[in-house]
Amino acid sequence: MSDQTVTQTNEEQQSNDSTEQRSNSLTVDVETDERLVDSWTDYEFEDEAAITVEDLDVYYGDDHAIDSISMEIPERSVTALIGPSGCGKSTFLRCLNRMNDRIDSARVEGTVEVDGENIYEGDTDLVQLRKRVGMVFQSPNPFPKSIRENVSYGPRKHGDVNVGLLGRLLGNDDREVEREIVERSLEQAALWDEVSGRLDDNALGLSGGQQQRLCIARCLAVDPDVILMDEPASALDPVATAKIEDLIEQLAEEYTVVVVTHNMQQAARISDQTAVFLTGGQLVEYDDTDKIFENPESDRVEDYVTGKFG
């Protein structure tokens, strides 16, 4: 447990309470499954943790969407979050870059540490956070702008690239820098070869799969550490899906990737470790992907991954 959480004694108390509650409810829920108890908390990674979540609870009004989840997400790997719909996996993902702030009724308790800093602490700069933790959404959402502008949108808005009229007039615009960023990001997103000749076309003219890779490129252009993906291939056809999956595996060499999916084969194919969420916003099991799919601790998880339920 980090220093920051220890100092906050008051809330610490509270979170201990909720941990107890959780284990209580767990034993009630899965009486038949004695082996389950805290099996995954022993799970150790070879790499450093990029994100550490402790006792995270999310409420939408009275609705308890995330029920006291703790987990560590190792850096430079693919972590898959799977589970039936409504299990809270997307909500959990949105906690990691505080996109839940968009929803007025959402209330978040607990700590999420990115690089050792609790992002739910008072003076967290959302701009800096979201620069470090990028996000790719379920359906492609390119801006109605040119391909180039889509990719360079983040750097431009952060003032890293200055290509406005003023810069041009004063003769110190960053067109060269922008070109490099656009090319690098599109190459990383495996899109460069397809669009290099038409960077100034409207991005909405691209196919669905291309749009999604453009969104990934757009996210990479900001140079994040972590990339969150919310069912990135669910709106795409099989060919486009395969491309996105290849891309995710490549990205994990440099970035920490957290991907939500309801497609278990996809999770098995691309991820290094898998977290299984079942109904009620609970994390039931979290382990190496192979372990989860071949020999899970929990019977419920076994039923789920073998398709008996969910």
Where do contacts with other proteins occur on this chain (CB under 8 A)?
A: 5, 8, 11-12, 14-15, 97, 99, 101-102, 104, 106-111, 118, 120-124, 126-131, 134-135, 137, 139, 141-145, 153-154, 157-159, 162, 164-167, 170, 202, 204-205, 215, 218-219, 222
Nearer to other proteins by Cβ, of 110 and 296: the residue is 110
Nearer to other proteins by Cβ, of 5 and 271: the residue is 5
CB of 99 to other proteins, least distance (A): 6
Amino acid at 1: M
CB of 72 to other proteins, least distance (A): 17
Question: Exposed, middle or buried, 78 (CB in 10 Å: 0-12/13-18/19+)?
Answer: buried
CB of 35 to other proteins, least distance (A): 31
CB of 26 to other proteins, least distance (A): 22
Q: Which residues contact 115 (CB under 8 A, 6 or more apart)?
A: 50, 132, 225
Instruction: Give the integer Cα–Cα distance in Å for 219 and 39.
Output: 35
Nearer to other proteins by Cβ, of 188 and 298: the residue is 188
CB of 289 to other proteins, least distance (A): 26
The full DSSP string for 147-193 is HHHHHHHHHHHTTS---SHHHHHHT---HHHHHHHHHHHHHHTT-HH
Question: Exposed, middle or buried, 120 (CB in 10 Å: 0-12/13-18/19+)?
Answer: middle
CB of 66 to other proteins, least distance (A): 13
Closest CA to 283 of 74, 81, 31, 35: 81
Nearer to other proteins by Cβ, of 122 and 307: the residue is 122
CB of 127 to other proteins, least distance (A): 5
Nearer to other proteins by Cβ, of 43 and 153: the residue is 153
Q: Are the beta carbons of 152 and 161 closer than 8 angstroms?
A: yes
Instruction: Give the integer Cα–Cα distance in Å for 101 and 97.
Output: 9
Nearer to other proteins by Cβ, of 81 and 276: the residue is 81
Nearer to other proteins by Cβ, of 130 and 300: the residue is 130
CB of 121 to other proteins, least distance (A): 7
Nearer to other proteins by Cβ, of 63 and 294: the residue is 63
Question: Exposed, middle or buried, 181 (CB in 10 Å: 0-12/13-18/19+)?
Answer: buried
Instruction: Provide the pairing of β-strand 273-278 with 106-114.
Output: unpaired
Q: Which residues of 133-171 are buried (b: 16+ CB within 10 A; e: fewer)?
A: bbbbbeebebeeebbbbbbbbbbbeeebbbbeeeeeeee
List, in sequence order, every residue forming a beta bridge with 80; answer none if it has no partner.
259, 274
Closest CA to 131 of 16, 249, 30, 219: 219
